[in-house]
Structure 1
Amino acid sequence: MQATARATEQAHPIRLYLVVWAWLFVLSACSYLIDYLHLQGGLRWSLILLFMIVKAGLIVAVFMHLAWERVALIYVILIPPAALLIFIAIMAIEADYTLATRVAQQVSGR
Protein backbone atom coordinates (compact mmCIF):
# COMPACT_ATOMS: atom_id res chain seq x y z
CA MET A 1 0.00 0.00 0.00
CA GLN A 2 2.85 2.38 0.73
CA ALA A 3 4.42 1.61 -2.63
CA THR A 4 1.28 2.78 -4.48
CA ALA A 5 1.03 5.89 -2.31
CA ARG A 6 4.62 6.81 -3.10
CA ALA A 7 4.10 6.10 -6.80
CA THR A 8 1.21 8.59 -7.03
CA GLU A 9 3.00 11.41 -5.20
CA GLN A 10 4.15 14.33 -7.31
CA ALA A 11 7.68 15.48 -6.73
CA HIS A 12 8.39 18.92 -8.10
CA PRO A 13 12.00 19.91 -8.55
CA ILE A 14 13.31 22.56 -6.18
CA ARG A 15 14.60 24.45 -9.23
CA LEU A 16 11.01 25.22 -10.26
CA TYR A 17 10.26 26.81 -6.90
CA LEU A 18 13.47 28.82 -7.00
CA VAL A 19 12.75 30.10 -10.51
CA VAL A 20 9.22 31.12 -9.50
CA TRP A 21 10.57 32.78 -6.37
CA ALA A 22 13.07 34.72 -8.52
CA TRP A 23 10.31 35.86 -10.87
CA LEU A 24 8.19 36.96 -7.92
CA PHE A 25 11.16 38.94 -6.62
CA VAL A 26 11.72 40.60 -10.02
CA LEU A 27 8.02 41.45 -10.39
CA SER A 28 7.93 42.91 -6.88
CA ALA A 29 11.01 44.99 -7.67
CA CYS A 30 9.27 46.26 -10.80
CA SER A 31 6.23 47.22 -8.71
CA TYR A 32 8.43 49.26 -6.38
CA LEU A 33 10.24 50.74 -9.37
CA ILE A 34 6.95 52.23 -10.54
CA ASP A 35 6.78 54.34 -7.38
CA TYR A 36 10.48 55.15 -7.52
CA LEU A 37 10.11 56.50 -11.07
CA HIS A 38 7.03 58.53 -10.02
CA LEU A 39 4.84 57.14 -12.79
CA GLN A 40 1.33 58.58 -12.62
CA GLY A 41 -2.11 58.04 -14.06
CA GLY A 42 -3.34 55.10 -16.05
CA LEU A 43 0.14 53.81 -16.85
CA ARG A 44 0.95 53.46 -13.15
CA TRP A 45 -2.21 51.58 -12.26
CA SER A 46 -2.19 49.36 -15.32
CA LEU A 47 1.42 48.32 -14.62
CA ILE A 48 0.70 47.70 -10.93
CA LEU A 49 -2.35 45.58 -11.81
CA LEU A 50 -0.42 43.69 -14.48
CA PHE A 51 2.40 42.82 -12.08
CA MET A 52 -0.11 41.86 -9.38
CA ILE A 53 -2.05 39.54 -11.70
CA VAL A 54 1.12 37.86 -12.99
CA LYS A 55 2.39 37.33 -9.44
CA ALA A 56 -0.96 35.92 -8.33
CA GLY A 57 -0.99 33.60 -11.34
CA LEU A 58 2.48 32.29 -10.53
CA ILE A 59 1.58 31.71 -6.90
CA VAL A 60 -1.67 29.92 -7.73
CA ALA A 61 -0.14 27.81 -10.50
CA VAL A 62 3.01 26.66 -8.73
CA PHE A 63 2.73 27.05 -4.97
CA MET A 64 -0.93 26.01 -4.82
CA HIS A 65 -0.21 23.24 -7.40
CA LEU A 66 -3.04 24.38 -9.68
CA ALA A 67 -0.89 23.80 -12.76
CA TRP A 68 -1.08 20.05 -12.07
CA GLU A 69 -4.79 19.83 -11.28
CA ARG A 70 -7.68 18.71 -13.42
CA VAL A 71 -9.19 21.17 -15.86
CA ALA A 72 -12.56 21.11 -14.05
CA LEU A 73 -10.96 22.29 -10.80
CA ILE A 74 -9.11 25.03 -12.65
CA TYR A 75 -12.38 26.22 -14.19
CA VAL A 76 -14.09 26.23 -10.80
CA ILE A 77 -11.36 28.42 -9.36
CA LEU A 78 -10.69 30.78 -12.29
CA ILE A 79 -14.06 31.36 -13.98
CA PRO A 80 -15.90 33.09 -11.07
CA PRO A 81 -13.24 35.82 -10.57
CA ALA A 82 -13.03 36.31 -14.34
CA ALA A 83 -16.80 36.70 -14.55
CA LEU A 84 -16.71 39.13 -11.64
CA LEU A 85 -14.09 41.26 -13.40
CA ILE A 86 -16.18 41.28 -16.59
CA PHE A 87 -19.28 42.39 -14.67
CA ILE A 88 -17.31 45.12 -12.89
CA ALA A 89 -16.06 46.38 -16.27
CA ILE A 90 -19.61 46.41 -17.63
CA MET A 91 -20.83 48.36 -14.57
CA ALA A 92 -17.97 50.86 -14.93
CA ILE A 93 -18.88 51.47 -18.58
CA GLU A 94 -22.55 51.90 -17.64
CA ALA A 95 -21.67 54.28 -14.80
CA ASP A 96 -19.51 56.38 -17.12
CA TYR A 97 -22.34 56.57 -19.66
CA THR A 98 -24.85 57.54 -16.97
CA LEU A 99 -22.57 60.27 -15.63
CA ALA A 100 -21.98 61.65 -19.13
CA THR A 101 -25.73 61.71 -19.76
CA ARG A 102 -26.43 63.57 -16.51
CA VAL A 103 -23.69 66.11 -17.16
CA ALA A 104 -25.02 66.70 -20.68
CA GLN A 105 -28.53 67.26 -19.30
CA GLN A 106 -27.27 69.75 -16.71
CA VAL A 107 -25.33 71.69 -19.33
CA SER A 108 -28.34 71.88 -21.65
CA GLY A 109 -30.49 73.17 -18.74
CA ARG A 110 -33.15 70.51 -18.57
Structure 2
Amino acid sequence: MTNTAVHVEGQQPSLHIHMHEALASGATHTKGQQHPIKLYLVVWGWLFVLSTCSYLVDFFGIHGYLRPSLILLFMVLKAGLIVAVFMHMAWERLALAYAILLPPVLVLVFVAIMVFESDYTHLLRVIFFAPTA
Protein backbone atom coordinates (compact mmCIF):
# COMPACT_ATOMS: atom_id res chain seq x y z
CA MET A 1 0.00 0.00 0.00
CA THR A 2 2.80 2.40 0.80
CA ASN A 3 4.54 1.60 -2.47
CA THR A 4 1.40 2.61 -4.36
CA ALA A 5 1.10 5.84 -2.39
CA VAL A 6 4.76 6.68 -3.03
CA HIS A 7 4.33 5.89 -6.73
CA VAL A 8 1.27 8.17 -7.02
CA GLU A 9 2.99 10.93 -5.05
CA GLY A 10 5.95 10.65 -7.39
CA GLN A 11 3.72 11.20 -10.42
CA GLN A 12 1.72 14.13 -9.07
CA PRO A 13 4.06 16.83 -10.40
CA SER A 14 3.95 15.12 -13.78
CA LEU A 15 0.13 15.11 -13.70
CA HIS A 16 0.18 18.75 -12.64
CA ILE A 17 2.35 19.68 -15.63
CA HIS A 18 0.13 17.72 -18.02
CA MET A 19 -2.94 19.42 -16.55
CA HIS A 20 -1.40 22.84 -17.21
CA GLU A 21 -0.58 21.85 -20.78
CA ALA A 22 -4.11 20.56 -21.35
CA LEU A 23 -5.66 23.72 -19.92
CA ALA A 24 -3.34 25.93 -21.96
CA SER A 25 -4.11 24.10 -25.20
CA GLY A 26 -7.82 24.13 -24.33
CA ALA A 27 -7.65 27.88 -23.74
CA THR A 28 -6.31 28.40 -27.25
CA HIS A 29 -9.18 26.40 -28.71
CA THR A 30 -11.87 28.29 -26.81
CA LYS A 31 -10.93 31.69 -28.26
CA GLY A 32 -13.39 31.25 -31.09
CA GLN A 33 -13.80 29.94 -34.55
CA GLN A 34 -11.46 31.55 -37.06
CA HIS A 35 -12.45 31.83 -40.71
CA PRO A 36 -10.07 32.55 -43.54
CA ILE A 37 -9.91 36.15 -44.73
CA LYS A 38 -10.55 34.91 -48.27
CA LEU A 39 -14.13 34.04 -47.29
CA TYR A 40 -14.81 37.60 -46.14
CA LEU A 41 -13.20 39.09 -49.24
CA VAL A 42 -15.31 36.87 -51.52
CA VAL A 43 -18.48 37.87 -49.66
CA TRP A 44 -17.53 41.55 -49.91
CA GLY A 45 -17.00 41.05 -53.64
CA TRP A 46 -20.43 39.47 -54.04
CA LEU A 47 -22.02 42.27 -52.02
CA PHE A 48 -20.38 44.79 -54.33
CA VAL A 49 -21.60 42.93 -57.43
CA LEU A 50 -25.16 42.64 -56.08
CA SER A 51 -25.21 46.33 -55.13
CA THR A 52 -23.99 47.24 -58.61
CA CYS A 53 -26.74 45.12 -60.16
CA SER A 54 -29.30 46.85 -57.95
CA TYR A 55 -28.11 50.27 -59.12
CA LEU A 56 -28.06 49.12 -62.75
CA VAL A 57 -31.78 48.35 -62.50
CA ASP A 58 -32.36 52.07 -61.93
CA PHE A 59 -29.68 53.14 -64.42
CA PHE A 60 -31.23 51.18 -67.30
CA GLY A 61 -34.71 52.39 -66.37
CA ILE A 62 -36.42 49.04 -65.99
CA HIS A 63 -40.14 49.57 -65.38
CA GLY A 64 -43.15 47.56 -64.29
CA TYR A 65 -43.19 44.69 -61.86
CA LEU A 66 -39.70 43.64 -62.94
CA ARG A 67 -38.08 46.68 -61.30
CA PRO A 68 -39.20 46.14 -57.68
CA SER A 69 -38.85 42.39 -58.10
CA LEU A 70 -35.19 42.68 -59.12
CA ILE A 71 -34.41 45.24 -56.44
CA LEU A 72 -36.02 43.05 -53.75
CA LEU A 73 -34.21 39.97 -55.07
CA PHE A 74 -30.83 41.69 -54.87
CA MET A 75 -31.72 43.07 -51.42
CA VAL A 76 -32.67 39.63 -50.09
CA LEU A 77 -29.52 38.05 -51.53
CA LYS A 78 -27.33 40.71 -49.90
CA ALA A 79 -29.14 40.33 -46.58
CA GLY A 80 -28.73 36.55 -46.78
CA LEU A 81 -24.98 36.85 -47.35
CA ILE A 82 -24.60 39.30 -44.48
CA VAL A 83 -26.60 37.15 -42.08
CA ALA A 84 -24.91 33.91 -43.13
CA VAL A 85 -21.29 35.05 -43.05
CA PHE A 86 -20.89 38.25 -41.05
CA MET A 87 -23.45 37.28 -38.39
CA HIS A 88 -22.13 33.68 -38.43
CA MET A 89 -25.54 32.06 -38.99
CA ALA A 90 -24.00 29.59 -41.43
CA TRP A 91 -22.16 27.99 -38.51
CA GLU A 92 -24.96 28.04 -35.95
CA ARG A 93 -27.17 25.17 -34.95
CA LEU A 94 -30.16 24.56 -37.19
CA ALA A 95 -32.66 25.27 -34.40
CA LEU A 96 -31.22 28.74 -33.85
CA ALA A 97 -31.24 29.44 -37.59
CA TYR A 98 -34.90 28.42 -37.78
CA ALA A 99 -35.74 30.56 -34.76
CA ILE A 100 -34.24 33.63 -36.41
CA LEU A 101 -35.03 33.07 -40.09
CA LEU A 102 -38.45 31.42 -40.01
CA PRO A 103 -40.52 34.34 -38.58
CA PRO A 104 -39.57 36.82 -41.35
CA VAL A 105 -40.34 34.19 -43.98
CA LEU A 106 -43.76 33.60 -42.43
CA VAL A 107 -44.41 37.35 -42.35
CA LEU A 108 -43.65 37.50 -46.08
CA VAL A 109 -46.06 34.61 -46.71
CA PHE A 110 -48.81 36.38 -44.76
CA VAL A 111 -48.14 39.63 -46.65
CA ALA A 112 -48.50 37.74 -49.95
CA ILE A 113 -51.81 36.26 -48.75
CA MET A 114 -53.04 39.74 -47.81
CA VAL A 115 -52.06 41.10 -51.24
CA PHE A 116 -54.09 38.42 -53.00
CA GLU A 117 -57.04 39.01 -50.69
CA SER A 118 -56.91 42.78 -51.20
CA ASP A 119 -56.95 42.32 -54.99
CA TYR A 120 -59.99 40.07 -54.64
CA THR A 121 -61.75 42.57 -52.36
CA HIS A 122 -60.98 45.43 -54.74
CA LEU A 123 -62.35 43.43 -57.68
CA LEU A 124 -65.58 42.69 -55.79
CA ARG A 125 -66.03 46.36 -54.88
CA VAL A 126 -65.47 47.46 -58.48
CA ILE A 127 -68.05 44.95 -59.69
CA PHE A 128 -70.58 45.73 -56.95
CA PHE A 129 -70.31 49.52 -57.03
CA ALA A 130 -69.96 49.82 -60.80
CA PRO A 131 -72.48 52.19 -62.32
CA THR A 132 -75.26 50.37 -64.11
CA ALA A 133 -75.89 51.28 -67.72
TM-score by length of 1: 0.94
CA shift, 1:59, in A, is 0.1
For the pair 1:100 / 2:132, whether they are aligned, the reply is no
Q: Do residues 7 (structure 1) and 25 (structure 2) align? A: no
Runs of 4+ in 1 over 6 A off after TM superposition: none
Task: Tell me, in whole angstroms, the C-alpha distance in 2 between the residues paired with 1:47 and 1:85.
Answer: 16
Equivalent pairs: percent with the same residue? 61
What is the CA RMSD across the aligned residues, in angstroms?
Answer: 1.2
List gaps (5 residues or longer) in structure 2: 1-22
Structure 1: tracts of 5 or more residues without a match: none
The one of 25, 47, 52 equivalent to 2:48 is 25
- Alpha-carbon separation, structure 2, partners of 1:85 and 1:104: 29
- Give the partner amino acid of 1:84: V
2:11 maps to none
**2:109 is equivalent to residue 89 of structure 1:** no
C-alpha deviations, 1:27-84, integer Å up to 9, x for none?
0000110111001110101000000000000000000000000001000001100110
| TM-score, length basis structure 2 | 0.78
Larger radius of gyration: 2
The answer to whether residue 100 in structure 2 is matched with residue 77 in structure 1 is: yes
